[in-house]
Chains A and B, each alone.
Chain A
Amino acid sequence: MLLQDARDFQILFLSLFLILGIGTRDWTLRPDLMLVVMATCLGTQWLAAYLSPILTQKLQNMLANQDAKQDNCQHETELAKSWAWHSLKSAGITALGLCLLLRCEHYTTMAIAGSLAILSKFVFKTGSKHFFNPANFGIIAALTLTPDAWVSPGQWGDDWWYALLFAGTGGTILKRVGRWDTTAAFLGSYAILEAIRNFWLGWTWDVFAHRLMSGSLLLFALFMLTDPRSIPNARTSRLIWAGCVAVLTFILRNQFFVPTALFWALFALSPLTVLLDFIWSSPRFSWSAADISAHPLTFPRSQPGSWESRPGGSASFRQTGRLKA
């Protein structure tokens, strides 16, 4: 159902930003490159989702299907039909994210970014959960593996109406997926660090405001950092994790003068998700249980409120009150 899934909103908003960006900011975006990344993401997703169970997870996949049948006989067929559609939606979101952020000269670079972004979901995972944000993985892959990729942190400027737009649309999605805490923890810790630095250096406060009003920072905090599919499950671990990303971003930006600090920090700390999920694992299980009983639509193994579908199989989930546990 259109706009039932948080990912529909995600697609809608990212497309809106892309149109706005092309229309009002003169980005060096090329339609042909956008097509390439879209095609590679969708193609890779389709191929990998098709091959991955056959090649590596036949058994697991069968088990998952059995579970699904037992728990969810009523909706199973419908969901099974739509798995492809749902997983392609996630790939579409990844592609839109790459279109918005990554700039390059050649088709091959976009193809590498797109395919590695999607493949990262199938390769770097524990259980059924991948721990790299696919778009972020694609960006880092392109930056490190190709000579012609770059990211423009200044591309949105610091206009307040963009800040409002990002906050509004981001808030809509975060409310649905219940990950506002991550954004708040990230922006909060980052703002505190920048404020301390600003105070210590003796800059006027408009310097601080200018640094925080960056459209790229807000877009990152609201749309990339909060992918519920790849970030830690428990709220405590999410808060710790977002704080760590903020600290690392701050260090990379101010100590090492990396303009793209955000993406490197997220990339470097993504594997921490595995550890954090391991430490705070029991809450996750109890939430799932609550979800299942309350919402038969939710698959037993699906993560609550995710917009990156499960790579190996069907996934459809609606946002539920998982935070109550």
Chain B
Amino acid sequence: MKQFRILKTLIVAFAAFLCFAPYAWGFCGFYVAKADTKLYNQASQVIIARDGSRTILTMANDYQGDVKDFALVVPVPVVLKQEQVRVGDPKIIERLDAFSAPRLVEYFDENPCDVARNYGPLFESAEAPAAGASRASRDDRSLGVTVEARFTVGEYDIVILSAKESDGLETWLQRNGYRIPQGASQLLRPYIRQNMKFFVAKVNLAEFEKAGYQFLRPLQMAYESPKFMLPIRLGMINATAAQDLIVYILSPKGQAEIANYRTVNVPSDAEIPLFVKNEFGNFYKAMFQNSYVREGQKVAFLEYAWDMASCDPCSADPLSPEELRKAGVFWLTPSSPSSVFITRLHVRYTRDKFPEDLMFQETSNQQFFQGRYVLRHPFTGNMQCEAGRQYKKALPQRFEEEAQTLAKLTGWKIQDIRKKMNVAQNEPAPFWRNIWP
């Protein structure tokens, strides 16, 4: 016997969620502008497909400045050869995002007078966009900087550098026309001393125009290294506010978590008022910000953890094997279809609360988790029975609870919520209903 039945589900555009702030792009490295264009990093998406120490990293971005001004420097653990770097399909990040985004579920109450009841969601969804790219530099001089590799992949010119001293690297980048953010040299040093290499990319304008792309596509790199980390420190150089990073970790084993910061589940499974349907993006933004502040601004949030073969409820179809391959999943073979477990982590970081780069670890935790928010439509038809009267009597309290929940989650004023709810759902029944149903 189920209590509700879903008549329908929602598709809630979740774009707002990724539009937290003035858009621009940054991720584990920093952008270096060749002109005076001011660049700020705000949000980024990274896919890490990892099995053991083998990794395929996909960096997407929403760089919105002029393509010719765009360049990117990312520390990488090993020297990458041409065949280890690819340009990815921007669609795949959208697909992963849609599949794993926090979701709004809508239920419609059954007539309480009906004996048999059903329960269940139809479908719902959420989505978010992404686009990608990056870009680079050239040249070699004797500044203790070695050009380990230089190649063109798609619309990108890529140089892999190793350096002995951060000053030398800074000078090299400057001489080659890159505007290095103030204080970069000091931050480059720890990576040089850890023997990391530098992946420097810029857009090859001829290729870019020839291909006729509208935006920069994601860069993918494959490497083998025990270092399971993302260097966020560099990306904070030219950031003025908190930055959002969404990491999709794909693993054959189970959930991934952050080893040097707490990983916290985002609030989930809350019943909230119906009007949120029209402002789910705002709701999620407010709720995330509220949780972020409550946790002291220094934790990573788990937004989704699921086996990629299924979903319940699905916000988008599971990815096909072909799509998974595009996302960097390299361990699937037709003969042995092993599992792919996705972990979606959302980190909002600032310089003072996240001093250290993110270190990850994979675990065999197979527990599923999703950010899921529930709308329950009350039954509005005829109810000619005792159960119906009870049901009606209980409704105001239920609405109040939903309002309280929403206020608690988002920090919105309870009065405002109540006001909005009245408009949305509390039309008083006309007096004649009492005798003329």
| A-contact bits for B278-306, CB 8 A (1 contact / 0 none) | 00000000000000000010110000000
Please report the C-alpha to C-alpha distance between residue A3 and residue B193 in the assembled complex, in whole angstroms.
51
B97 at the interface (CB under 8 A from A): no
Determine the chain A residues whose CB is within 8 A of the CB of B355 once the complex forms: 203-204, 206-207, 209-210
Please report the C-alpha to C-alpha distance between residue A206 and residue B194 in the assembled complex, in whole angstroms.
18
Please report the C-alpha to C-alpha distance between residue A155 and residue B299 in the assembled complex, in whole angstroms.
10
Identify B365's interface contact among A150, A202, A207, A209, CB under 8 A. A150
B335 at the interface (CB under 8 A from A): no
Determine the chain B residues whose CB is within 8 A of the CB of A204 once the complex forms: 355
Most buried by A among B227, B265, B296, B363: B363
Determine the chain A residues whose CB is within 8 A of the CB of B296 once the complex forms: 159
Could you tell me if B193 and A202 are in contact, using CB atoms closer than 8 angstroms? yes
Please report the C-alpha to C-alpha distance between residue A154 and residue B299 in the assembled complex, in whole angstroms.
10
Could you tell me if A257 and B226 are in contact, using CB atoms closer than 8 angstroms? yes
Could you tell me if B228 and A105 are in contact, using CB atoms closer than 8 angstroms? no
Could you tell me which residues of chain A, from 79 to 108, have a CB within 8 Å of some CB in chain B?
A: 103-105
Could you tell me if A207 and B364 are in contact, using CB atoms closer than 8 angstroms? no
Please report the C-alpha to C-alpha distance between residue A153 and residue B359 in the assembled complex, in whole angstroms.
11
Number of residues on chain B facing chain A (CB within 8 A): 32
Closest approach, in angstroms, between the C-beta of B26 and any C-beta of chain A? 20
Closest approach, in angstroms, between the C-beta of B300 and any C-beta of chain A? 8
Could you tell me which residues of chain B, from 342 to 377, have a CB within 8 Å of some CB in chain A?
A: 352, 355-356, 359, 361, 363-367
Please report the C-alpha to C-alpha distance between residue A28 and residue B263 in the assembled complex, in whole angstroms.
11
Identify B298's interface contact among A155, A158, A214, CB under 8 A. A158
Closest approach, in angstroms, between the C-beta of B252 and any C-beta of chain A? 11
- Interface SS, A side: loop
A78 at the interface (CB under 8 A from B): no
Determine the chain B residues whose CB is within 8 A of the CB of A211 once the complex forms: 260, 356
B16 at the interface (CB under 8 A from A): no
Could you tell me if A154 and B260 are in contact, using CB atoms closer than 8 angstroms? yes
Q: Which residue of A lies closest to B229 (CB)?
A: A257
Determine the chain B residues whose CB is within 8 A of the CB of A203 once the complex forms: 190, 355
A188 at the interface (CB under 8 A from B): no
Could you tell me if B262 and A210 are in contact, using CB atoms closer than 8 angstroms? no
Q: Which residue of A lies closest to B187 (CB)?
A: A202
Could you tell me if B194 and A152 are in contact, using CB atoms closer than 8 angstroms? no
A296 at the interface (CB under 8 A from B): no
Determine the chain A residues whose CB is within 8 A of the CB of B226 once the complex forms: 256-257
Determine the chain A residues whose CB is within 8 A of the CB of B265 once the complex forms: 26
B420 at the interface (CB under 8 A from A): no
Could you tell me if A259 and B364 are in contact, using CB atoms closer than 8 angstroms? no
B92 at the interface (CB under 8 A from A): no
Determine the chain A residues whose CB is within 8 A of the CB of B257 once the complex forms: 152, 154
List 5 interface pairs A-B (beta carbons < 8 Å), by A numbering. A28-B365, A105-B367, A158-B298, A257-B229, A259-B359
Which residues in B have some Cβ–Cβ distance to A below 8 Å? 166, 186, 189-190, 193-194, 226-229, 257-265, 296, 298-299, 352, 355-356, 359, 361, 363-367
